[in-house]
Structure 1
Amino acid sequence: MAAKPELQEQINRLPHQPGVYRYFDDEGIIYVGKAVDLRKRVSSYFTKQDHNKKTQQLVKNIKRIEFTIVNSESDAFLLENNLIKQHQPKYNILLKDGKTYPYLLLTKERFPRLIPTRNKQPGDGQYFGPYANQSGLNVLLELIRALYPLRTCTYNLSPENVEAGKFKVCLEYHIGNCKGPCENKEDEATYNQYIQQIRQILNGDLRLPKQYFRERMTAAAQEMQYELAHQFKQKLDKLDEFQAKSTIVNASLTNIDVFSIASNEKAAFVNYFKVMNGSIILTQNLELTKKLDESDGEILAPLIMQLRQEYESEAKEILTNVPVGDLPLPGVTVTQPQIGDKRKLLELSIKNVLYLRKEKESMNEKGKDVNEVRIMEQIKKDLRLKELPKHIECFDNSNFQGDNPVSAMVCFRNARPSKKDYRHYHVKTVVGPNDFDTMYEVITRRYRRLVDEGASLPQLVIVDGGKGQLSMAVKALKDLNLWGQIPVIGIAKRLEEIYVPNDPLPLYIDKKSESLRLFQRMRDEVHRFGITFHRKTRDDATLKTELTDVKGLGPVTADKLLSKFKSVKKIKELTEAQLVAEVGKAKAKVLLNYFDQQETPTS
């Protein structure tokens, strides 16, 4: 595709030097690239004939070209990476994560605490991580808390505060999870030994903690303190169990990053291993949508930079399965090992990334097979409908001992939830727990409204219930002169039984049928939707008491007082000091003023 004259002029002015080029359309930057030779690289977009459709579309949209000369290919890499992050061009591959990763913080204070956090604040202490997911962090945190009696309170345990007796031990002390440093029951030197071992564990080295517990176990056994020895043995077993679950590669392989990539026409899949002290301490899988005809090396190179930055890796060696060029990482070697333990480690990463690609491709194929049209065709066949049920509505009633009756309707379009069409109903004409009359009211209200608005009617209506609810739905449709226009069925509680009008015997649909699966999904959805609404309605009614009329007192405070004292009468009997203790000075004053203004005296 030849360049337009105005673009060709710009290309002719490009130097034969390394740099970064930027393509613009009428709205802004659409692509950023780097090149060893700017003129040759940019020219290739307009002279090569074998571009894929996406690249051809990019070239069609280019209206203007800008460039920046740099000193080296390494500098071009850095500048390209920064510009892509800043402008997020349409045709560049972007790793849009957006999430904050969890860390473990060992606080900088006397008797340090170990706490999970997603907010990294310099000066708070030593951070470990980040971790790829919360579950991995939780496993590590549970292990450490099982091994060491760390405090969890936020007290300022300065020597002066502890000596002054400002604090009291809490439940954690009484159940054995903490040794009570707040009351000077814990030796600081021993506690700091724990912290030293915890640092080792968080750095992936279990040798010092295992040695510590092994020595304590042996010493306790020699002194015939067998119960204590058993406790140390249990902690040693926990460390062995944790280490057994870790992927051990080779003790000689320390501080290595491993990256592998596999791709197809549409997407690229990347696996990342972080190896420390012979074990894989972190693994991450990524899927990225391809934008142009990028090679695996072009995709992987910026990802290596970004993942190392996000996971704060300082590894001096990187293993990859494809060449990635010269990365701007001074002192770091990048290799594609062919033999030995490093090759085995790389092959493990490749095995993971190939499995990820296969799994995603399989899911996509299944998604193509299980399509909405086939499901609707199956429903039409099972229920002997005249037309395809593209629009289905399902109803359910909810009440608690006859109080606060409500109803709910969920709508599925093309066999998928259409949540904007979901509806709640407060029952208006029915007194007491009467599902039949409730169903009649709600069906009447729903379809009278659709008729009045001239809206399209569903091709199938489902009511949650047996013959009774179904007969009331039929009656409502007949009274609206809609009978015969909308097919309606009832679902019995076991879900295998489908009731149709004018047939005393239920219709049994194959349990494996996609029709029944969709009906079950709709029933579960309407039940969830209705129960949520009913709970809110019931809670609102429960909170409506004399206290909710008090200006300046919110429902949370009212609920708190009623939960504890059970009645307004008992709340009125509280002294000012008791009220202050419960709700604070400001709200206590509001309540006392309100009670003083009431005509009925307190007793």
Structure 2
Amino acid sequence: MPDIIFDYKSFLKTVPNRPGSYRMYSDENTVIYVGKAKDLKKRLSSYFLKEINLKTRALIEHIHHIEFTVTFSEAEAFILENNLIKKYQPHYNILLRDDKSYPYLVLSKGKHPGLYYYRGRKKIDCEYFGPYPDVSAAKDSLKLLQKLFPIRQCADTVYSHRSRPCLMAQIGKCLAPCVPMSEAAYKNYMQQVDYVRMFLKGQNQDVLNDISSKMEQHAANLEFEDAAKLRDQLLSLRRVQESQSVSGDLMFDMDVIGHDEEQDLCCNHVLFIRKGRIIGTRSYYSQCNLTDDNDALSAFVSQFYLSDMRAGMYPKEIITDTPVADDKSLCEAIKKISGKDVVFLSNVRSERAKYLKLARENARASLTAKLADKSTAKRRIDDLEKLIGLQGIEHMECYDISHTMGENTVASCVSFNREGPDSANYRRFNIECITPGDDFAAMHQVLTRRFKDPTEGIIPDVVFIDGGRGQLKQAEEVIGDIFSKVKVKPPLIVAVAKGEGRKEGLETLIRGYTREEIHLSLSDPALQIVLHIRDESHRFAITGHRHKRQKARSHSVLENIQGIGPKRRQALLKNLGGIREVMNASVEELKKVPGISESMAQMIYDELHSL
């Protein structure tokens, strides 16, 4: 039994034999583990037995004190545990880091309803279909529906201002409700809207039967062209149904979860099956930092299905690799949240067994790919450490400058750790008050601003500079001057100079101060990670520069004139016909614009002609 500072014997005497949730603290305020129990006293006592596993041992060695909350039932303990995990994000719990809302397809209301992709709260007055497991599943469905049913997918602002059919109408993917329609055409459009509604509700066969019936009516009335259009639509629908339907009678909603673990990394791959079709799949990864309170699959399932973001995504059946711990209590908790009955199955046969096998294979493949990425990243970092003679690299940064002919200069700072990009620490800097096109001065400014207080924040182990000896000299001056004044270890500086013809793989690495040059081939893992960091820095700088350039282009010179607000700018442009006409207008012409006095017209004229 390890040495424990926490007086667990006295504490356990106060714990009741009731269901509830408990929180373990490493100090007065830091929660390190959240759990739930049918019997709090028995569960908490089990942590302090003589025979415990290594993970539990590591946990209890850090316990400062324990708090608990008694609940009426184990189902309520499930819900409370889930809420507390989301609130505290404890170190020793499996954390499901996925707070994105699920996407929907929505059918708008009005004279000519449209079909759209939507993500967010249900605050717009539309018919909602979904939610879908991921964005790609929703957008793929939207593309498919556009091929099958020619209703509009344009925004209402576009639809209300069009006077002639758009390209989608010309290629047969929209019935062009934006232009005047005959009564027969309007009825046809609304019929297509009904078909979309039925299709999204899973009433595929009803749609097929209705289209088939109408095709026969047109053929009987010798309306062969209309009959041919319906025939093509019918064939398309049947092909879709054949490619998406499953054999057997599993025409209801279910989730199938395949689970795999390796090297303390867990992967849960979920197949989302709705109305007998796989509408999407998704892999969820987590660190297996749990105690023996629950197995990794049960911990994932309880968090996943008790999440607020699961609203509307509850299936009739949830099929798992192995039995879920406390599945009855979990079902009760789900019903309290959603009002829906679900059932957990594990020992399945026939079609369900085929889907479970598929989910397992996907989990194994996803986990293998994830581990391969991690091992590749580790190998690259290890090689880089050997190359530059610096052990224990945890944090790296790269700096790049981007501009167009010296204008709208932007500097980027991208951050990498041992696992790859650390986007939370990416930063952009707008460079000002320098000679246009002076990359050396830009580099000097960005590094001065980044390391103005080296005693605060993260100090990288390595700083990469995208550039040659000139940019490297600026980095040496700035970092050398700043860090010489404080007792903080300065980062190692490495410049990444482009090779002949700017071809990738011909770069030269130049160490700071010593100016030692390092030449590597593209197959070298160390160069691969350096190029990855450099390219990411370049991409981030270019993106920031383009945004700034676009904003500058959309900026009107009238916005710089004091006293000219949005209404007066609009009046000037509307009455004179555009910014060029405003620039060429005389004072007499300017003062004729409503809301523009003679003195204001003179001020506008003077400001525009002083540029």
Instruction: Specify if TM > 0.5.
Output: yes
Mapped contact 1:35–1:76 kept (Cα < 8 A): yes
Q: Tell me what 1:468 maps to.
A: none
Amino acid at match of 2:331: P
Q: Tell me what 2:244 maps to.
A: 246
Call closer, same or farther: CA 1:117–1:32 in 2, change over 3 Å: same
Following superposition of structure 1 onto structure 2, how do residues 262-411 of structure 1 map, counting pairs within 5 Å?
Answer: 262-264=260-262, 266-293=264-291, 294-303=294-303, 305-306=305-306, 310=310, 312-324=312-324, 325=326, 326=328, 327-329=330-332, 331-371=341-381, 373-375=382-384, 377=386, 400=405, 404=407
Mapped contact 1:143–1:238 kept (Cα < 8 A): no
Q: Tell me what 1:494 maps to.
A: 503
1:501-555 deviation per Cα after TM superposition (whole angstroms, max 9, x unaligned):
9xxxx99964434466467557646755675677688779878996454124589
1:593 matched to 2:600? The reply is yes
Q: Number of matched residues? A: 538
Mapped contact 2:100–2:309 kept (Cα < 8 A): no
Mapped contact 1:7–1:65 kept (Cα < 8 A): no
Mapped contact 1:405–1:426 kept (Cα < 8 A): no
Amino acid at match of 1:323: P
Q: Tell me what 1:484 maps to.
A: none
SS at match of 2:369: helix
Call closer, same or farther: CA 1:266–1:169 in 2, change over 3 Å: same
Mapped contact 1:32–1:92 kept (Cα < 8 A): yes
State the 1:208 CA deviation.
2.5
1:550 matched to 2:548? The reply is no
Call closer, same or farther: CA 1:153–1:260 in 2, change over 3 Å: closer
Call closer, same or farther: CA 1:117–1:322 in 2, change over 3 Å: same
Q: Tell me what 1:64 maps to.
A: 66
1:97 matched to 2:95? The reply is no
Following superposition of structure 1 onto structure 2, how do residues 28-39 of structure 1 map, counting pairs within 5 Å?
Answer: 29-39=31-41
Segment of structure 1 superposing worse, 283-292 or 514-523? 514-523
Q: Tell me what 1:435 maps to.
A: none
TM-score (normalizing by structure 1): 0.70
1:18-37 deviation per Cα after TM superposition (whole angstroms, max 9, x unaligned):
44334344216543323233
1:197-222 deviation per Cα after TM superposition (whole angstroms, max 9, x unaligned):
21222234422333344444455555
1:40-72 deviation per Cα after TM superposition (whole angstroms, max 9, x unaligned):
2211101142222355324541413434153x4
Following superposition of structure 1 onto structure 2, how do residues 40-51 of structure 1 map, counting pairs within 5 Å?
Answer: 40-51=42-53
Q: Distance in 1 between matches of 2:271 and 2:219?
A: 41
Mapped contact 2:331–2:343 kept (Cα < 8 A): no
Q: Tell me what 1:113 maps to.
A: 114
Following superposition of structure 1 onto structure 2, how do residues 71-90 of structure 1 map, counting pairs within 5 Å?
Answer: 72-90=73-91
Give me the CA root mean square deviation: 5.1
Call closer, same or farther: CA 1:526–1:597 in 2, change over 3 Å: closer
1:286-343 deviation per Cα after TM superposition (whole angstroms, max 9, x unaligned):
1122232231453144145336961514533332221123133464332223422222
Mapped contact 1:23–1:32 kept (Cα < 8 A): yes
SS at match of 2:137: helix
Call closer, same or farther: CA 1:452–1:252 in 2, change over 3 Å: closer
Amino acid at match of 1:349: A
Mapped contact 1:11–1:39 kept (Cα < 8 A): yes
Name structure 2 gaps, 5 residues minimum.
336-340, 439-466, 485-489, 511-516
Amino acid at match of 1:368: K
Call closer, same or farther: CA 1:66–1:494 in 2, change over 3 Å: closer
Mapped contact 1:392–1:458 kept (Cα < 8 A): no
Amino acid at match of 1:38: L
State the 1:450 CA deviation.
5.4
Higher CA-based Rg: 1
Mapped contact 1:424–1:533 kept (Cα < 8 A): no
State the 1:457 CA deviation.
9.2
Q: Distance in 1 between matches of 2:187 and 2:195?
A: 13
Segment of structure 1 superposing worse, 138-147 or 183-192? 183-192
TM-score (normalizing by structure 2): 0.70
Q: Distance in 1 between matches of 2:94 and 2:508?
A: 53
Q: Distance in 2 between matches of 1:208 and 1:370?
A: 57
Q: Distance in 2 between matches of 1:122 and 1:411?
A: 37
1:334-354 deviation per Cα after TM superposition (whole angstroms, max 9, x unaligned):
222342222222222222222
Call closer, same or farther: CA 1:91–1:590 in 2, change over 3 Å: farther
1:180 matched to 2:177? The reply is yes
State the 1:367 CA deviation.
2.4
1:145 matched to 2:152? The reply is no
Q: Tell me what 2:454 maps to.
A: none
SS at match of 1:64: strand
Amino acid at match of 1:185: S
SS at match of 2:268: strand
Segment of structure 1 superposing worse, 492-501 or 19-28? 492-501
Call closer, same or farther: CA 1:174–1:353 in 2, change over 3 Å: closer
Q: Distance in 2 between matches of 1:310 and 1:196?
A: 28
1:353-396 deviation per Cα after TM superposition (whole angstroms, max 9, x unaligned):
2222222223222222222x41365589xxxxxxx9x9998887
Mapped contact 2:22–2:68 kept (Cα < 8 A): yes
Q: Tell me what 1:53 maps to.
A: 55
Mapped contact 1:378–1:514 kept (Cα < 8 A): no
Q: Distance in 2 between matches of 1:220 and 1:495?
A: 63
State the 1:569 CA deviation.
3.5
Q: Distance in 2 between matches of 1:356 and 1:148?
A: 35
Segment of structure 1 superposing worse, 202-211 or 343-352? 202-211
Amino acid at match of 1:68: V
Mapped contact 1:16–1:39 kept (Cα < 8 A): yes
Name structure 1 gaps, 5 residues minimum.
158-165, 381-387, 432-437, 465-489, 580-584
SS at match of 1:41: helix
Amino acid at match of 2:295: S
